Amino acid sequence: MSKILIVDDEAKIREVLTEYALFEGFEVETANDGFEAIAAVRDKHIDIIIMDIMMSRLDGLSAVKKIKEIKDIPVLMLSARGEEYDKLYSFELGADDYIVKPFSPKEVMARVKAILRRVERVSQNQTYEFEGLRIDEIGRNVYVDEQKISLTPKEYDLLFYFVRNRGIALSREKLLSEIWGYDYFGDDRTIDTHIKMLRNSLGEYSKFICTLRGMGYKFEV
């Protein structure tokens, strides 16, 4: 399930877009201004941002510029103005789409889904790289400092799931249900054992798998 960050200093707009996003099956985070948006991107996994341009505290263009320095997250810009400069500058900053207020919430959701489809098609042809760790999910290959390593099937599944959900706290129960299936009757030690094996395989890059005491794990880069 994709998570949308809705950024607008007008509460009514946040409420309306949140309602439609939830109806479409998205998870939602909201922010009142650019500062809150940047903080959310740093602290949480966000799949796409709906960003208003004109805000009283840190405008959307400035926020997007900073966010793109942190993470490459697709952005749909909102603006009460339709000036060509705003549109061109938004695209120069890396925005994926631009829509002028007043807008149809249904159209916004349609554009969000179109952006996510494009991003998914692109990501299917890419590998993940974190320092000297390179992960090719489609080819099911993992490289440590350019050396291909061999993992067990469950180690592959765990690593790929971590990467797809990087930055998100994952409970042992969640990992069991997603990797082993809901009908698995094992206990939490199964997760801990496989995590230990995976960390041994990753060497120094095991640092990306963080233990959350009493809860589970998180892949943090």
* C-alpha to C-alpha distances, 41 to 101, 150, 152, nearest whole angstrom: 24, 33, 33
What pLDDT was estimated at residue 138? Answer: 76
Residue 12 sits in the same domain as residue 31 = yes
CB burial readout 169-197, b (16+ within 10 A) else e: ebebebbbeebbeeeeeeeeebbeebbee
Burial of residue 124 (CB within 10 Å: 0-12, 13-18, 19+) is exposed
Looking at the structure, do residues 184 and 94 belong to the same domain, yes or no? no
The pLDDT tens digits for 89-134 are 888 888 888 898 888 999 999 999 988 888 776 566 567 889 999 9
pLDDT at 84 over 80: no
Model pLDDT, residue 122:
57
Residue 88 has pLDDT above 90, yes or no: no
Tens of pLDDT, residues 1-51: 789 999 999 999 999 999 999 999 999 999 999 999 999 998 888 999 999
Do 87 and 162 have their domain in common?
Answer: no
R_g of the chain computed on alpha carbons: 20
Contacts 24+ apart (CB under 8 A), 134-139: 135/159, 135/160, 135/163, 137/163
Do 176 and 78 share a structural domain? no
The confidence score (pLDDT) of residue 187 equals: 59
Q: Which of 88, 123, 158 is the last residue of a domain?
A: 123
Quick one: pLDDT at residue 7?
97
The residue written with tokens 């900073």 in the block is 66
Among residues 123, 138, 156, the one where a domain terminates is 123
Tally of domains in the chain: 2
Q: What is the CATH number of the domain that holds 46?
A: 3.40.50.2300
Say what the pLDDT of residue 135 is: 92
What per-residue confidence (pLDDT) applies to 184? 47
Report the pLDDT value the prediction gives residue 86, as an integer from 0 to 100: 80
Same domain, 90 and 26: yes
In this structure, what CATH number is given to the domain that contains residue 172?
A: 1.10.10.10
Residue 85 sits in the same domain as residue 69: yes
What's the token pair of residue 99? 């829509």
How many residues are given for the chain? Answer: 221
Could you tell me if 34 and 135 lie in one domain? Answer: no
pTM confidence score: 0.58
Verify that 16 and 111 share a domain, yes or no: yes
Final residue belonging to a domain, choices 70, 100, 123: 123
Same domain, 115 and 37: yes
Shared domain for 12 and 71, answered yes or no, is yes
> In this predicted model, what pLDDT tens digit does every residue of 123-174 receive, in sequence order?
665 678 899 999 988 778 899 999 999 988 888 889 999 998 888 999 988 8
Expressed as residue numbers, the domain containing 179 is 128-219
Higher per-residue pLDDT: 176 or 220:
220
Residue 158 backbone phi and psi in degrees, to 5: -65, -45
Same domain, 114 and 132: no
Residues 18 and 100 in one domain: yes
Q: What is the pLDDT of residues 163-211, one digit of tens each?
A: 988 889 999 888 888 887 644 455 567 788 889 999 999 999 999 999 9
In this predicted structure, what is the pLDDT of residue 154?
84
